[in-house]
Amino acid sequence: MKCRVCDREAAGAYCDRHERAYQNLRERYEAWKQALDVSWKEYLAEVAQNENTGTWAKEVAEALLSRDES
Amino acid sequence: MGKYTLIVTEKPEAARRIAQALDKEGEPEEFKRRGVPCLRAFREGELVVVPALGHLYTVVHERGGRNYYPVFSFEWAPRHLAERGAKQVKAWIEVFSEMAENADSFIDACDYDLEGSLIGYCVLKYACGGKEGLAKRMKYSTLTKRELEKAYAELLPGLDFGLIKAGETRHEVDWLYGINLSRALTLAAQRSSRRYTTLSTGRVQGPSLRFMVEREREIRCFVPAAYWDIGAEVEIGGSAYEVEYEREKLGRRAEADAVVRACEGKAGEIKEVELREFQERPPTPFDIGTLQTEAYRHFGYTPRQTLDIAQRLYLQALISYPRTSSQKLPPVIDYRVILSSLSRGRDYEDLAAELLKRAELTPHEGEKEDPAHPAVYPTGSLPEAALSGPERKVLDLVVRRFMAVFGDPAVRQSMRVSIEVNGHLFYLRGRRILKEGWMRFYGPYVSSDEVLLPPLRKGDTVRLRRVTRQDKFTKPPPRYNPSSLLKKMEDEGIGTKATRADIIQTLYDRGYIRGRSITVTGLGFDVTEVLSGHCPSVVSVELTRGLEEKMELIQNGGEKRENVLLEAVEQLRPVLEGLKEDEEAIGEALSEALRRARMEERIVGPCPDCGTGSLMIIYSRRTGKRFIGCTNYFKNACRTSFPLPQKGTVRPAQRECGACGWPQVEVRMMGRRPWILCFNPRCPRKEERRP
């Protein structure tokens, strides 16, 4: 199976690099929801353009957003 | 030529200083043999001083050949037989052999440390024909006349074999690890891709790279959390002062808005004024690690650069031996003599004179010790020739630090004023220096963060001039820089004071890391992932630290060289068998990593036309010429392309044009300085230059 983001080998949807970024995105959402009352999609859009977000986390957020749109 | 004493030194500059110091007239005769600069001096008898060129011998594989592993049998051999680019070593070894024939006594005057002792030992054993048992040892920490004469008068009766065995073992263990693991990686990649690229790792290199990979992973996977804080200013006596809200972080925007609403336009009352005085003790003398950290902090020099500069200053007899882990300054170095010499120069005249007035001089020493050398200190000698800018800066740092350690504690005062505004507390903080103490000597290197406040009393009222909500996001952990990485290696107990800077440089040279604020490259990631997956022990800190501890024991006779070597081989054997078994998979992973790294090296930046592709240096298959093209060209989505110079080498400059913001390339040609090229034909800077 290939990673949805980078085409590397993956056991699930993501390779081990992007899987960790995905898990971080999931974990952090609760805090954002409580602080700003944002939806998952709004959160992903915010995170994807935040300068402090790591590149792999950004790639996953963008991939999730584009899947959602398609 | 009659019989004489042959003195072996580590470098030509040291040979010159030693010969000058020991010659009765201070004017030794210089002569050359096969291009090697030797010196003849006269004291009680004739002395011939011959320098080495650092290590003249190295560990090599007994059988030779490059394309196989494991290799566990080794021997020491002249470097010119093992390394390309070490041809000159042959002449130096021949000169030692020749000069040893007529010598009746031998002195090893190389630097007194692991490497120096090993250099002298190898020369005496291999080049001079087994004279290591006869030789005496000169031990010194500075190349000043005074100390060299003393070291010569008080020669140690024999070589320091504990140190030599430890040095020998370290080279051998590192060779075993380096040669086997690097060959395993290189051959696996070569067999898979049919293309040769050197891939290396080693006993210390592997774990060091892993620290950075772990940090890089954290940074790349980082998702920030939103938080808020309150920015506020109060007005006191017509001036504005920043104040801090009682809570550093607020987890909800609504909470922050509520604070702003409650405080806006309100006056505050001073509830408390707390004053605290505390002493700040002087810094400790420089060991090489703290010198490298300070030089990075103040001048941006990498640990390798600082070590090189310090080495040059040492060879000019301006500072003591820099590769030391000591933070002690024993009285035997004679503080007063050094300060008197410093007081003769204009720059330190007043400061040194001030210290000399004291009845007693006691340095504030640190914990760390080094049996071979004291901390780094200035000799007080004046430079014989003009120093380069970096040399001047590092020397100034060493001199000021030396004086600062004798200073009195500084006294600082901190002030915290609690201001209540409509039920919310704000803090106004002030800091000032009450007594400079040692800071006066350390001068420009003291971080001064004084905030002076006007006199304030409990019950006073102040006006809140501004109160705003500030939207913030948590930040990823900082990247390592060469200095913090060196510190991390030191804290983890891997590598030595002499090797850490070189290891960091090797990681750069291999393309595993780049930048001052270190970024791990794709290749660095892939190599670490392959090693972690197939032989995790090789990148584990525990394994290398364990070996490090045992090697240190050899020095004191607590462990045998043979046992440590055996242990290293026993640890390596199963690792290498595993690597061989998985060679195909490893080869594929590494070839793919190298392919990606080569692509990465050619990516210049994002395409300014289509916005989705990347600009890349491309070589035309038809004409062989190079140009910049968009990666979307291959998808028929973008036809952007730009010409490039066809001579020399071109690579991405990793920076953008200041005028148009386009990515730039660096062009290098023989005999010319490299230059940065903006390939945007419509760059405003180019337009300006057009007639």
Chain A residues with CB under 8 Å of B475 CB are 52
Beta strands across the sheet bearing B649-656: B649-656, B663-668, B675-678
Name residues whose C-beta falls within 8 Å of residue B431's C-beta, 6 or more positions apart in sequence.
B412, B413, B414, B415, B449, B450, B451
Interatomic CA distance for residues B204 and B494, integer angstroms: 6
Q: How far apart are the first and last CA of chain B?
A: 74
Assigned token pair, A34: 């409580």
Tokens of B337: 């003599």
Instruction: Please tell me whether residues B277 and B417 are part of one structural domain.
Output: yes
B459 and B497 share one domain: no
Are B458 and B430 members of one domain? yes
Residue B575, pLDDT > 70, answer yes
**Best CA proximity match to B412, nearest among B277, B274, B275:** B277
Same domain, B154 and B57: yes
Q: Tell me whether residue B599 is in a domain.
A: no
Domain assignment present for residue B27? The answer is: yes
Interval A3-55: pLDDT, tens: 999 878 888 999 999 999 999 999 999 999 988 889 999 999 999 999 999 99
Residues shown for chain A: 70
pLDDT tens figures, B424-462: 999 999 999 999 999 999 999 998 788 888 888 899 999
Residue B589 placed within a domain: yes
Both tokens of B98, joined, read: 């020749």
In this prediction, residues B265-289 reach a mean pLDDT of 93
Q: End of a domain among B594, B624, B639?
A: B594
Distance CA B572, CA B203 (A): 10
Contact A50 B224 (CB under 8 A): yes
Chain A / chain B CB contacts < 8 angstroms: 59
Decide the pairing of beta strands B103-108 and B136-137.
Answer: parallel
B350 & B425 share domain: no
What residues make up the domain containing A45?
16-69
Looking at the fold, whether B56 and B136 belong to one and the same domain comes out as yes
**B517 in the same domain as B560:** yes
Pair B15, B117 in one domain: yes
Place of tokens 């949807």: A13
Predicted-complex ipTM score = 0.97
Residue B209: which residues within 8 A CB-CB, separation 6 or more?
B201, B507, B512, B513, B520, B524, B527, B528, B539
Q: Considering only CA atoms, which of B300, B196, B202, B288 is closest in space to residue B504?
A: B202
pLDDT the model gives residue A70: 45
d(CA B495, CA B259): 52
B133-175: pLDDT as tens digits: 999 999 999 999 999 999 999 999 999 999 999 999 999 999 9
Please compute the mean of the pLDDT values over residues B175-202 and round it to a whole number: 88
Confidence at B515, pLDDT banded by 50, 70, 90: confident
Is residue A8 assigned to a domain?
no
Q: Write the CATH number for B238.
A: 2.70.20.10
d(CA B529, CA B418): 53
Residues B274 and B460: beta-carbon distance below 8 Å: no
Give me the residues paired with residue B61 across strands. Answer: B74
pLDDT at position B551:
85
The three-state (H, E, C) secondary structure of B63-86, written as one string? CCCCCCCCCCCEEEEEHHHHCCCC
CA distances (Å), origin B313, targets B322, B367, B399: 9, 25, 12
Taking a C-beta distance cutoff of 8 angstroms, is the pair B405, B438 a contact? Answer: yes
Residue ranges of chain B whose CB lies within 8 Å of a chain A CB:
217-227, 251-253, 473-476, 525
Which of A56, A58, A59, A62 to mutate to probe the B interface, most B CBs <10 Å?
A: A56
Q: A9, A26, A53: best mutation site toward chain B, by most B Cβ within 10 Å?
A: A53
Asked if residue A4 belongs to a domain, the reply is no
Q: Please name the residue of chain A whose CA is at the shortest distance from the CA of residue B227.
A: A35
CA distance B34 to B431: 65
Given B69, B126, B177, B321, the catalytic residue:
B321
Q: Taking CB atoms and an 8 Å limit, are B224 and A47 in contact across chains?
A: yes
Mutation pick from B223, B474, B600 vs chain A, by most beta carbons of A within 10 Å, is: B223
Q: Assess whether B154 and B195 both reside in one domain.
A: no
pTM: 0.80
- Give B525's contacts in chain A (Cβ within 8 Å): 17
**B277 plus B400 within the same structural domain:** no
Reply yes or no on whether the pLDDT at B62 is more than 90.
no
Query: What's the pLDDT score for residue B598?
Result: 84
What are the residues of chain A with a beta carbon less than 8 Å away from any beta carbon of chain B? 17, 20-21, 24-25, 27-28, 31-32, 34-36, 47, 50, 52-57
Structural domain contains residue A1: no
Q: Is B112 in the active site?
A: no
Q: What span, in angstroms and rounded, lies between the C-alpha atoms of B624 and B618?
A: 9
Domain with B650 in it: 607-689
Residues of B in contact with A20 (CB under 8 A): 217, 221
User: What does the buried/exposed string (b/e) look like for B148-164 if buried means 16 or more CB atoms within 10 Å of the residue's CB?
Assistant: beebbeebeeebbeebb
pLDDT at A69 over 80: no
B399 and B414 housed in the same domain: no
Residue B167 buriedness (CB in 10 A; 0-12 / 13-18 / 19+):
buried
Which of B116, B139, B159 lies at the terminal end of a domain, its last residue?
B159
Average pLDDT (B228-239) is 90
- Residue holding tokens 């001096």? B41
Tokens encoding B499: 């090797």
What are B316's two structure tokens?
A: 């000019």
Does residue B489 form part of some domain?
A: yes
β-pair type (B626-630, B614-619): antiparallel
CATH number for position B361: 1.10.290.10
Mean pLDDT of B625-646: 88
Clarify whether residues B538 and B440 are in a common domain: no
| Chain A residues within 8 A of B220 when measuring between CB atoms | 17, 21, 54-57
On chain A, the residues whose CB falls within 8 A of the CB of B600 are: none
Q: To which H or E segment does residue B502 belong?
A: helix B500-509
Q: What is the DSSP letter of B129?
A: T
In a domain, A10, yes or no: no
Whole-angstrom Cα distance, residue A36 to residue B471? 11
Chain B residues with CB under 8 Å of A7 CB are none
Average pLDDT over every residue of B5-24: 95
In a domain, B602, yes or no: no
Q: Return the closest-CA partner of residue B142 out of B307, B310, B270, B274.
A: B310
Residues A31, B226: C-beta atoms closer than 8 Å = yes
Task: Please report the sign of the dihedral spanned by the C-alpha atoms of residue B261, residue B262, residue B265, residue B271.
Answer: negative
Is B223 in Cβ contact with A28 (below 8 Å)? yes
- Give the percent of chain A with pLDDT over 90: 70
**For residue B673, how far is the Cα from the chain centroid?**
26
Report which of B335, B328, B399 is spatially closest to residue B366, judged by C-alpha positions.
B328
User: Of B217, B225, B253, which is closest to A31 when you measure between CB atoms?
Assistant: B225
Q: What are phi and psi of B621, to 5 degrees?
A: -70, -30
CB atoms within 10 A of CB B657: 19
Task: Give the closest residue to B600 by CA, choosing from B614, B586, B613.
Answer: B614
Task: Give yes or no for a contact between B506 and B180, defined as CB atoms under 8 angstroms apart.
Answer: no
Rounded to 5°, the CA angle B215-B219-B224 comes to 140
- The pair of structure tokens assigned to B200 is 């290396």
Chain B partners within 8 Å of A17 (Cβ): 217, 220-221, 525
| Number of domains making up chain A | 1
Chain B nearest C-alpha distance from A31 (Å)? 7
Contact (CB<8Å) B473/A32: no
Interchain proximity B226–A54, CB inside 8 Å: no
- CATH, residue B540: 1.10.460.10
Element (H, E) at B509: helix B500-509
Q: Which two tokens stand for residue B593?
A: 């990593």
Of the candidates B594, B617, B651, which is a domain's last residue?
A: B594
Count the domains in chain B: 5
